[in-house]
Amino acid sequence: MIALKRAYEPAAADDGARILIERLWPRGVKKTDLPLDAWIKDAAPSPGLRKWFSHDPEKWPEFQRRYRAELRQHPQALTPLRAAARQGRLTLIYSSHDTEHNNAVVLREVLQKPAAAT
C-alpha cells in the first residue's frame, strides 16, 4: 500500500517507509523534526514544472501529463520507491497544502502501475 502524508502531519507507527518526494525541504520544518527513511529529490517535478503549476487546480490535467512525462524520462528515480513499496507500506511525504492537486497524488498513481506501464 502507498499512502500520502503532508510533511506537517505527525509520523505514525503504521507509516512504513517514509520518503520525502520534494526537491525543496518543507518550509518551517526542522530536519530533526521530520522522520524519514529517504529523501528522493529526483522523483519530484522539475523546478520549471513546479513553478509553472504553482498549485493552480486549473492547470492540474496538464501538470499531470507533464509530470508523468518527466518521470518517464527519469525512470531510475522510481526504482527506490518501487523497492520500498514491495517491502511493505510506503508513505510518500509531500509539502503541498492542497491534498488533491500535488505531485504525490500523481506519483502514487504511477507507482501503483506495473513498471512497464509507466
pLDDT digits (tens, 9 = 90+) for 36-57: 999 999 999 999 999 999 999 9
- Res 96: pLDDT: 94
Sign of CA dihedral 112, 115, 117, 118: positive
Q: In which band, very low, low, confident or very high, does the pLDDT at 113 lie, cut at 50, 70 and 90?
A: confident
Length of the chain equals 118
The angle subtended at Cα 59 by Cα 55 and Cα 45, nearest 5°, is 60
- The strand pairing partners of 3, in sequence order, are 91
Average pLDDT, the chain: 94
- Res 81: pLDDT: 97
| Domains contained in the chain, number | 1
Prediction pTM value: 0.92
- Res 95: pLDDT: 95
- The strand pairing partners of 18, in sequence order, are 91
Give the residue-averaged pLDDT of 90-111.
96
> Would you say residue 118 lies in a domain?
no
Q: Whole domain around residue 47: which residue ranges? A: 2-113
Sheet with strand 38-39: strands edge to edge: 2-6, 90-94, 17-20, 38-39
